[in-house]
Amino acid sequence: RAQMVTVGIFRTSPHLTLPDVMLLAQPAAICDDSNRHSSAAQERGKKPTQILELTRLLPLKFVEISIHNSKKQQLHLKLASGRSFYLQLCLPPDRGDLFIQWKNLIYFLFISANAHSRTQA
């Protein structure tokens, strides 16, 4: 079943050269008070801020990210547990370059993982 998630890739320390954590969040259940503020923002013509709830924090050493379908802008996540997930990128109109950034990130993480595995051997 399809589910909307927001993905963030972060470094847990400013001393790291590459990110080491993936965060997954989904839209939070909105209480009535928050919903009222959101409606007021829409009336003023402003886009309401989406409230997200963090659902997963995954160390990247346990996640394999790859391009599933470049044309459709789909990513494939494979967890160390063996579970797989496919992500369809939903881009805002002003962020057409976001998939290219994902491709670059995946490339750098792949190169880094290969370099790390060679030093461990």
Helical (H) or strand (E) element with 60: none
Write the DSSP symbol of residue 30: P
CA distance 51 to 3: 16
pTM for the whole structure: 0.73
Task: Convert the pLDDT of each residue in 69-115 to its tens digit.
Answer: 999 999 999 999 999 999 999 877 787 788 999 999 999 888 877 77
C-alpha pair distances (Å), 28 with each of 14, 31, 34, 57? 29, 9, 11, 16
Task: Name the band, by pLDDT with cuts 50, 70 and 90, for residue 38.
Answer: low
Domain ranges of the chain: 6-120
pLDDT at 61: 93
Q: Does domain 6-120 have CATH number 2.30.29?
A: yes
Task: Name the band, by pLDDT with cuts 50, 70 and 90, for residue 42.
Answer: low
